[in-house]
C-alpha cells in the first residue's frame, strides 16, 4: 500500500508559466524510471501555480525520490523558472482508491 507522499507547490515566474508546464510534462519520463515512485502527478492549480504529488510504499522510496533526478532537475531550474523556492510537504497517505481506467 502507498503510505508516504510528497506535495510540492511551484509558483512560476511571470512569463515562465509555459516553461514550468513543459518541465513538469518532461518530468513524467524521469518518474517512469523511478521504480520506487509508483504514483506521480504533475498538476496545474492555476495559471501560474503548479504542483507535484507523488506517493510511495515506504520511507526509503520517498527518500530516494527526494535525492533523485526529478528533484535535482527541479532545483537546478528553480532560480530560472520559479518566483519563490518550491515548498515540499511530506505527508501520510490514509487511503487510496486505484482502479484501472476503462477504455
Task: Name the pTM for this structure.
Answer: 0.91
* 97 within some domain: no
Tens-binned pLDDT, residue by residue, of the chain (103 aa): 899 999 999 999 999 999 999 999 999 999 999 999 999 999 999 999 999 999 999 999 999 999 999 999 999 999 999 999 999 999 999 999 888 777 7
For residue 33, the domain's CATH number is 3.30.70.100
Bridge partners for 91 per DSSP:
5
Q: Which domain holds residue 31?
A: 13-85
Q: Contact, 76 vs 23, CB < 8 A?
A: no
Q: Is residue 98 part of a domain?
A: no
Q: What CA–CA distance (Å, rounded) separates 78 from 4?
A: 24
Query: In the chain, how many domains are there?
Result: 1
- Cβ neighbours for 85, distance < 8 A, ≥ 6 positions apart: 78
CA distance 17 to 88: 19
Amino acid at each position: 500500500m502507498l503510505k508516504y507522499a510528497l506535495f510540492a507547490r511551484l509558483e512560476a515566474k511571470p512569463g515562465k508559466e509555459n516553461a514550468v508546464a513543459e518541465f513538469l510534462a518532461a518530468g513524467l519520463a524521469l518518474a517512469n524510471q523511478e521504480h520506487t515512485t509508483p504514483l506521480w502527478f504533475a498538476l496545474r492549480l492555476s495559471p501560474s501555480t503548479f504542483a507535484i504529488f507523488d506517493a510511495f510504499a515506504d520511507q526509503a522510496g520517498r527518500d530516494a525520490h527526494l535525492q533523485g533526478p526529478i528533484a535535482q532537475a527541479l532545483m537546478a531550474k528553480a532560480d530560472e523558472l520559479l518566483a519563490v523556492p518550491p515548498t515540499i510537504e511530506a505527508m501520510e497517505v490514509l487511503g487510496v482508491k486505484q482502479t484501472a481506467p476503462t477504455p
